[in-house]
């Protein structure tokens, strides 16, 4: 008994289908490879890699990280200087307590020094109002560490007399865990120091 031959047209159709399937698959694979290579390249341009203490590689998004850090740092410094210097007899305890959350022992030591010098007693005794007018901070990066210089303009209202002062303070910033609402920006002021304090000429 003779083996019947397959229809030549069916064989050609099957071969054409296989060829088309292979071509389509190869095209999709090539497109996926190009896309993955482009994505990896783009990601590499915006990232740096650091070696952790256990030898693992940590990707760091440099551009975004620096931009976010600057915004957080400026907000943190403004918050601290507002709490620490915008005080009166009714709010100074509450504001100073909030300010102490934003810095390390250097802030606490300054607070204790001011308290020993009678700054807050005079605030209560004479019902003084110390109001912050402006806060201007400049952040400096040096090998991954951050320092700042802040110029704070504030006035002290003594009733019939209003004196305006300019305070220039410096310090460093380190990153810590966020603690909402006590430390919403996840930063801590260290080595804080009041460099200069001068009285400004009043226009009135």
pLDDT averaged per 10 residues, the chain (length 204): 61 78 84 79 57 57 69 96 96 96 96 96 94 97 92 94 96 93 94 97 60
DSSP 102-146: TB-HHHHHHHHHHHHTTHHHHHHHTT-EEEEEEEEEEEEEETTEE
Rounded CA gap, 150 and 169, in Å?
Answer: 5
Which pLDDT belongs to residue 49? 56
The CATH class of 68-200 is alpha beta
pLDDT tens track for 133-185:
999 999 999 888 999 999 999 999 998 899 999 999 999 999 999 988 899 99
Which pLDDT belongs to residue 23? 84
Which pLDDT belongs to residue 204? 47
Q: What is the pTM of this model?
A: 0.69
Q: What is the DSSP letter of 8?
A: H
Which pLDDT belongs to residue 85? 98
Q: What residue segments make up the domains of the chain, in order of their start?
A: 7-48, 68-200
């Amino acid at each position: 008994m003779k083996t019947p031959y397959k229809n030549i047209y069916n064989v050609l159709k099957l071969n054409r289908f296989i060829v088309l399937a292979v071509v389509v698959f190869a095209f999709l694979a090539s497109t996926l490879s190009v896309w993955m290579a482009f994505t990896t390249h783009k990601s590499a341009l915006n990232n740096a890699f650091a070696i952790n203490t256990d030898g693992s590689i940590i990707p760091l998004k440099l551009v975004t990280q620096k931009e976010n850090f600057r915004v957080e740092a400026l907000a943190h410094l403004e918050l601290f200087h507002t709490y620490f210097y915008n005080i009166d007899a009714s709010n100074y305890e509450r504001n100073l307590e909030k300010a102490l959350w934003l810095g390390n022992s250097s802030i606490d030591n300054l607070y204790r020094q001011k308290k020993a010098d009678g700054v807050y007693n005079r605030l209560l005794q004479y019902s003084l109002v110390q109001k912050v007018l402006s806060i201007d901070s400049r952040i400096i990066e040096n090998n991954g560490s951050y320092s700042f210089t802040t110029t704070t303009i504030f006035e002290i209202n003594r009733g019939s007399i209003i004196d305006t002062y300019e305070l220039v303070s410096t310090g460093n910033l380190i990153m810590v865990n966020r603690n909402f609402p006590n430390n919403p920006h996840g930063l801590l002021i260290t080595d804080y120091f009041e460099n200069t304090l001068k009285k400004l000429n009043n226009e009135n």
